[in-house]
Structure 1
Amino acid sequence: MKKPQIKRKIPATMATQHPDNVSAPFWKEKGDPFISTIEEVEEAKLFTTYYTFFKKRQLGRDIFLTFRLPNIWLEKGYRIARAYMAILTSVDFSSALKVASPPVFEVILPMTDKAEKLIYLQKTFAQIAKFKDKAFGEKVKVFDYLRVIPLIEGVNELTSSKKILHDYVRLHKKEYKSPPEYLRPFIARSDPALNAGIVSATIAAKIALSEFYKFSEESRVPVFPIIGVGALPFRGGLSPYTLKNFLDEYSGIRTVTIQSAFRYDYPADESRKAVRYLNKMLKMGNPKLYSLTDIKNGKRLISIFSNYYCKTIEEIAGAVNSLSEYIPRRRERMLHIGLFGYSRVIGKKRLPRAITFTAALYSLGIPPELIGVGRGIREMIKKNLDRDIKMFYKNLIPDMIMAGNYLNKENLYFLSKTETAWSEIAEDVKLIEEFIGRELGPTDTRHFIHRNITSNIYFLWKEKNDPKEQIVEAARIRQSLG
């Protein structure tokens, strides 16, 4: 597939604030893994602190800062005006310093489900920009065109994402008399896994990736897809030690998120080396394009695996929420605290956010990757879809083995005595073992130590004692909080 040419550089790696790290950032003097709002203000001072660096590697030209805007249709919207003004005043600042301008020109809209919302953000930004120009009599050219990255987070939205992109191009032509120069559609991996399980999330991501490139062929608008992934398989499986498997699974992705565990829970030299490798290799991958029949079968697989997963998760939500109270926080994220917090819902049950959810289940020695998968495999085989799963999820077996190394069967046995849903997970384990032809569980010293710590966590939690220290200790071993 011919690589498109555009005027700007597309970054291959994007550092994010996802707080999935267990260890303290290497740059923190006191070694505390929690990053307060005061310290986030220090992050905002990086430009002035390291001005020589930014003079050489300029924002908006060589490196990029991308805001995540609030989704005003689902979240409190008062922060959006503040973001707009920060972007606009950064243009003034960069012009005064005679560096690349605009330094920030692209934003992410989370939970995108309609193209109209992307256009709405562009139009409101333009209105604010023109008002600022009129009010203050700007001498520089007005910057009023904001690029918007659609972050698509639902399984259904991912599998039908081509329509969102086509609708956006149609509306863009109507508003601006031309199509956008390019698009950077953003695939979520964590929330789809939380809502539908690892298999469904992986298949939905692969279908979306195929649909993005088919959209590009049909519209002639270049696409540079992004995927948001954490270190553990459940949240995407990108770590310094899984690069080749990841690149094979998601060939065609042009930008990946480098989340906190990737940066801080592995040796810094290994993380830097991995980032360099990704920067070199991501642009070389070619996407797998699926036929209509392939996509139909992919959706059948999503339905099979998500049904088992959701049924079980809804029943164990109480236990997950209970243990989640002990998962340490790493940032004061507005989405998590106070009046502004919101959670995810499966059926009638509320769940914590994906990192905390994943951490809670790993802390019990029950990796969420395994939930619903065994029963899904059994039904998949009965319906002759095993060829399709190999096409959509190349790393299914390696991911099951990797997650299975952290399985605590004794804890699962004890939990099975308290709730039928845990027995269903035990059935999943048995069926996965039959499918892959080997037993799940610890295989080296680290895994056995992790298993022993999760046993301690289980008994402390059952006795209503605080297992936070043990939760952190176990997370250090697996090199990610959740």
Structure 2
Amino acid sequence: MAYFLKKNDRPKNSADRKIPTTMATQHPDNAAAPYWKSNQEPFISTLDEIEECYRAYIDIGCQEYMWDWEGKYVDEGVVEKLFSSHYDYFKENQIGKDVFLTFRLPNIWYEKEYRIARAYIGILTFEDLARDLGLKTPPVFEVILPMTDEAQKMIYLQQTFRKIARLKHQVFDEEGTVRESSYLQVIPLVEGVSELTVSRKILHDYVDLHAAEYGSKPLYLRPFIARSDPALNAGIVPATIAAKVALSEYFRFEEESGIPVYPIMGVGSLPFRGGLSPWNVPHFIEEYPGVRTVTVQSAFRYDYPQEDVREAINLLNRSLPGTVPLAYTPEEVSAGERLVAIFSLHYQKTVEEVADMINRVSASIPPRRERKLHIGLFGYSRGIGQKHLPRAIGFTASLYSLGIPPELIGTGRGIAQAIREGYAEPLSLFYRRLKDDMQDAGHYLNKENLTFLASENQAWMSVKEDIELVEDFFKIELGPVTIEHYLHRNFVSSIYFLMQEEKDFSDYLLKAALLRRSLG
């Protein structure tokens, strides 16, 4: 393994724009109420999100805010309302130049296209509004395409946006109006483990299609690496390996093409969903050098002391741009792919067999946003094998609420098989802090609950085996250590017994989430 070129030796940022480092998002993983809500209600409505966006910029120093059209309701007049409520701030800190608002669009290959046309019109009219207010930069010029699996879909978004822009210009714009926004920058969000490991090809294909469509290469790319959904679908070790292979492949693409890349990584606070919290920023940077933008999700912002949050975001803003990405050889990538296959098999088999219990708990997870239902006409669902599962946050919250952190599922058996096949060294190469993540997650393990669960469903015995193997391999004992850990253990014990009696356990579920500083 070698390091890539340091920042000063890389291609210059020919985009002539600031690349934001910290992206606040609307992920519903907070246990506590936002500090800025006077009623101390943890649910964040669509109306609240305007104020939330402003607060992310001014209070804690986030440089970008993801406005999420995928799978949830959204305020379509966001820019107009931000300008109306906080014009003085945005006059000095222009959206699209100093701070950024980035739409995550619905994937029209999975959802109906009802809302994407409205998003397009919003982007175009926001430019008109900004210009009329004397602001020269289009507020929104970049969008995220979820579940990107081929380059043609990125080009299709750009083509359809250009058609809408031309139509609006013909019908509504005054003669002589000069437009900036007929070109839409697209961020590919890659969410599958197998897609992540080969996503350099998506970038190369996109460059070729872009050159054919526009007569030039894109000035830069911001590929977006998912961490939560790969973990949900394959487990923590495959998700971590796939993310790091993707990072390596993106900078290899940069060397091959000369096009600067600024990778984004979508992470939550708990290890299973990426492990970025205000209290472990240096550890995250050590595990994922080369990331240029990270998501700062709701639990990060609201479940920790505000001063710690500000300091952590400041540290990320200072540190991430200078980290040196890792380069993996083709042989190392091949070893990583084998490790993904090993760990995925154990994880997926067990999760499918215990899915009914996960879904039973998830029905009591309190909502935090105005989510749309992800089935049928209005979206899509997650699942493994023949079983449907909650989304990643609900999945993680359900297992932690049982006292069975999902980080542990399949990991022990995966380690044992990796050792048998001679892959112990590549495992430590790809996942530097595996032991630390097992310990951190293991503090919330309730072994008594696991024994009870295993007496009802033999599939949980495999998780007991995982725990024994992890403890033996790392020479550690998993379980509570601090007072908070023991209180968490007591709360999730109450959850199990109340569930057996078919009684409401939502109060204990929330108390446990507050202790671990994240819903899921």
What band does the TM-score fall into relative to the shorter chain?
over 0.9
1:9 counterpart = 2:47: no
Q: Is the 8 A contact 1:61 1:100 kept in 2?
A: no
In structure 2, the residue matched to 1:118 is 154
Deviation at 1:48, TM superposition (A): 1.8
Equivalent residue in structure 1 for 2:46, among 18, 21, 37: 37
Deviation at 1:14, TM superposition (A): 0.3
Q: Is the 8 A contact 2:111 2:379 kept in 1?
A: no
Query: Which secondary structure state, in structure 2, belongs to the residue aligned with residue 334 of structure 1?
Result: coil
Residues 341 and 178 from structure 1, CA distance in 2 versus in 1: closer, same or farther, beyond 3 angstroms? closer
In structure 1, the residue matched to 2:216 is 178
1:440 counterpart = 2:470: no
How many residue pairs get matched? Answer: 482
In structure 2, the residue matched to 1:256 is 294
Deviation at 1:98, TM superposition (A): 1.2
Matches within 5 A, 1:180-219: 180-219=218-257
Deviation at 1:340, TM superposition (A): 2.4
Query: Which secondary structure state, in structure 2, belongs to the residue aligned with residue 150 of structure 1?
Result: strand
Residues in 1 aligned to 2:255 and 2:50: alpha-carbon distance in whole angstroms: 43
In structure 2, the residue matched to 1:291 is 329
Residues in 1 aligned to 2:375 and 2:505: alpha-carbon distance in whole angstroms: 22
Identity of aligned pairs, percent? 59
Residues in 2 aligned to 1:253 and 1:335: alpha-carbon distance in whole angstroms: 32
Equivalent residue in structure 2 for 1:276, among 311, 314, 323: 314
Tell me the alpha carbon deviations over residues 320-353 of structure 1, each in whole angstroms, 9 at most, x when there is no partner. 0011000001001225589625320100100000
Residues in 1 aligned to 2:46 and 2:255: alpha-carbon distance in whole angstroms: 44
Residues in 2 aligned to 1:391 and 1:444: alpha-carbon distance in whole angstroms: 31
Residues 261 and 42 from structure 1, CA distance in 2 versus in 1: closer, same or farther, beyond 3 angstroms? closer
Query: Which secondary structure state, in structure 1, belongs to the residue aligned with residue 326 of structure 2?
Result: coil
In structure 2, the residue matched to 1:479 is 517
TM-score, normalised with respect to structure 1 = 0.98
1:140 counterpart = 2:140: no
Residues 354 and 85 from structure 1, CA distance in 2 versus in 1: closer, same or farther, beyond 3 angstroms? same
Q: Is the 8 A contact 2:112 2:377 kept in 1?
A: no
Residues in 1 aligned to 2:114 and 2:449: alpha-carbon distance in whole angstroms: 45
Q: Is the 8 A contact 1:298 1:392 kept in 2?
A: yes
Structure 1 segments of 4+ aligned residues over 4 angstroms from their partners: 335-339
In structure 1, the residue matched to 2:122 is 86
Matches within 5 A, 1:348-359: 348-359=386-397
Gaps of 5+ in 1: none
Q: Is the 8 A contact 2:17 2:97 kept in 1?
A: yes
* Coordinate RMSD, CA, aligned: 1.2
Equivalent residue in structure 1 for 2:34, among 17, 25, 46: 25
Q: Is the 8 A contact 2:110 2:380 kept in 1?
A: no
Deviation at 1:141, TM superposition (A): 1.3
1:385 counterpart = 2:392: no
Q: Is the 8 A contact 1:112 1:150 kept in 2?
A: yes
Matches within 5 A, 1:34-73: 34-40=43-49, 44=78, 45-73=81-109
Residues in 1 aligned to 2:380 and 2:500: alpha-carbon distance in whole angstroms: 27
Residues in 1 aligned to 2:373 and 2:291: alpha-carbon distance in whole angstroms: 27
Tell me the alpha carbon deviations over residues 56-92 of structure 1, each in whole angstroms, 9 at most, x when there is no partner. 1110100000000110001121100000000000110
In structure 1, the residue matched to 2:68 is none
Deviation at 1:36, TM superposition (A): 2.1
Deviation at 1:461, TM superposition (A): 1.2
Deviation at 1:244, TM superposition (A): 0.8
Residues in 1 aligned to 2:50 and 2:293: alpha-carbon distance in whole angstroms: 27
Residues in 2 aligned to 1:337 and 1:168: alpha-carbon distance in whole angstroms: 30
In structure 2, the residue matched to 1:406 is 444
In structure 1, the residue matched to 2:110 is 74
TM-score, normalised with respect to structure 2 = 0.91
Tell me the alpha carbon deviations over residues 228-258 of structure 1, each in whole angstroms, 9 at most, x when there is no partner. 0000000000000111110011100000000
Residues in 2 aligned to 1:470 and 1:3: alpha-carbon distance in whole angstroms: 51
Query: Which secondary structure state, in structure 2, belongs to the residue aligned with residue 231 of structure 1?
Result: coil
Equivalent residue in structure 1 for 2:166, among 119, 123, 130: 130
Residues in 1 aligned to 2:250 and 2:49: alpha-carbon distance in whole angstroms: 35
In structure 2, the residue matched to 1:232 is 270
Residues in 2 aligned to 1:462 and 1:3: alpha-carbon distance in whole angstroms: 59
Residues 223 and 41 from structure 1, CA distance in 2 versus in 1: closer, same or farther, beyond 3 angstroms? closer
Amino acid at match of 2:86: Y
Deviation at 1:41, TM superposition (A): 6.0
Residues in 2 aligned to 1:420 and 1:47: alpha-carbon distance in whole angstroms: 57
Tell me the alpha carbon deviations over residues 377-432 of structure 1, each in whole angstroms, 9 at most, x when there is no partner. 00000011110011100110000000000000000000010111100000000000
Deviates most, 47-56 or 109-118:
47-56
Tell me the alpha carbon deviations over residues 9-55 of structure 1, each in whole angstroms, 9 at most, x when there is no partner. 00000000001001011111100001123434666333321111111
Residues 12 and 292 from structure 1, CA distance in 2 versus in 1: closer, same or farther, beyond 3 angstroms? same
In structure 1, the residue matched to 2:412 is 374
Matches within 5 A, 1:308-347: 308-336=346-374, 340-347=378-385
In structure 2, the residue matched to 1:95 is 131
In structure 1, the residue matched to 2:61 is none
Deviation at 1:439, TM superposition (A): 0.7
Residues 247 and 41 from structure 1, CA distance in 2 versus in 1: closer, same or farther, beyond 3 angstroms? closer
